[in-house]
């Protein structure tokens, strides 16, 4: 019935399986349960069933459900976004090329399960931001990190003459993050990779539009 028990079927895989330890296993199982059900509806019994760990162990490592949720955000989701979106961008000379590359490669790597569950950040943001400040400040930290990394990239691109002079790095970065989140949302509802590709192409075309002309010609 629940096909998410397997540890490695989806892309939003945050940790290595090996050597998690009890705490890590709980954290990982909680992450999956939350990604799937949301935080409030995430059942501790389900998490325990996933792992085979007992309630005593859970409450030995975490004082309560909320703190377990916080730990999932801090240690699992945050790290995943950093490794998937922030770090890789630093590798590229031109952030426009980097983002295009990231869009395409993650699009290729996505399974249907990834599409169905969508971005774990958005799941928690939509559910918990209005009702729990602890979640909200943690989530905003991750979004800001992501957003800032793109902003920095475009500041550099501006200096290097890789983008049109009239763009504002902050605004463009906001656009990119928002569009990617929105794209994953649309694909999730439609349960369709095509929606993701469609929006990915739109975003790539947008990026080509703000690329500096001489740079555009140089590349061809």
Partner DNA sequence: TATAAAGCATACCAATTGGTATGTACGAGA
Partner DNA sequence: TCTCGTACATACCAATTGGTATGCTTTATA
Binding to a copy of itself in span 14-73, by CB under 8 A: 36-38, 40-41
Interaction of residue 210 with a copy of itself, rule CB under 8 A: yes
Q: Determine the Cα–Cα distance for residues 143 and 178; give it in Å rounded to an integer.
A: 10
Judged by CB under 7 A, the number of residues near DNA is: 20
Q: Does 65 bind DNA (CB under 7 A)?
A: yes
Task: Return the residue of 89, 145, 186, 193 that touches a copy of itself, per CB under 8 A.
Answer: 186
Tokens representing 139 are 């989530």
In whole angstroms, what separates CA 138 from the centre of its chain? Answer: 14
- Judged by CB under 7 A, the chain residues 7 through 46 that form the site for DNA are 21-23, 42-46
Residue 183 to residue 124: CA distance in whole angstroms: 17
Report CA-CA distances (Å) from 150 to 4, 92, 176. 32, 12, 8
Task: Name the residue nearer to a copy of itself (CB basis): 53 or 154.
Answer: 154
Site for DNA in 68-107 (CB under 7 A): none
Size of the site for a copy of itself (CB under 8 A): 49
Q: Residue 131 CB: number of other CB atoms within 10 A? A: 10
Q: Per CB under 8 A, does 110 bind a copy of itself?
A: no
Of 4, 15, 20, 57, the one binding DNA (CB under 7 A) is 57
Least distance (Å) between residue 180 CB and a copy of itself: 7
For residues 127 and 200, give the distance between their C-alpha atoms in angstroms, rounded to a whole number. Answer: 25
201 touches a copy of itself (CB under 8 A): yes
Residue 123 binds which entry of DNA, a copy of itself, none, CB below 5-8 Å type-dependent: a copy of itself
Structure tokens at 180: 């990617």
Say if CB 43 and CB 33 are below 8 A apart.
yes
Binding of residue 127 to a copy of itself (CB under 8 A): yes
- Measured CA to CA, the distance from residue 50 to residue 27 in angstroms comes to 11
Contact pick of 5, 64, 126, 148 for a copy of itself (by CB under 8 A): 126
* 17: its two tokens: 């399986």
């Amino acid at each position: 019935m629940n096909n998410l028990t397997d540890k490695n079927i989806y892309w939003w895989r945050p940790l290595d399986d090996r050597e998690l330890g009890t705490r890590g296993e709980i954290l990982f199982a909680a992450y999956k349960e939350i990604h799937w059900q949301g935080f409030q509806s995430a059942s501790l019994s389900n998490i325990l069933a996933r792992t085979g760990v007992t309630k005593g162990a859970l409450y030995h490592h975490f004082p309560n459900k909320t703190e377990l949720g916080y730990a999932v955000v801090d240690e699992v989701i945050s790290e995943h976004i950093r490794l998937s979106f922030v770090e890789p961008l630093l590798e590229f000379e031109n952030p426009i090329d980097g983002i295009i590359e990231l869009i395409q490669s993650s699009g290729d790597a996505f399974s249907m399960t990834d599409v169905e569950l969508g971005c774990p950040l958005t799941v928690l943001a939509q559910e918990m931001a209005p009702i729990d400040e602890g979640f909200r400040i943690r989530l905003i930290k991750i979004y800001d990190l992501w957003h800032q990394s793109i902003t920095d990239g475009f500041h550099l691109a501006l200096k290097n003459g890789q983008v049109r002079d009239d763009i504002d790095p902050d605004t463009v970065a906001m656009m990119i993050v928002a569009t990617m989140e929105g794209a994953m949302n649309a694909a999730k509802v439609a349960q369709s990779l095509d929606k993701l590709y469609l929006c990915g192409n739109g975003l790539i075309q947008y990026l080509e539009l703000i690329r500096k002309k001489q740079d555009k010609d140089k590349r061809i």
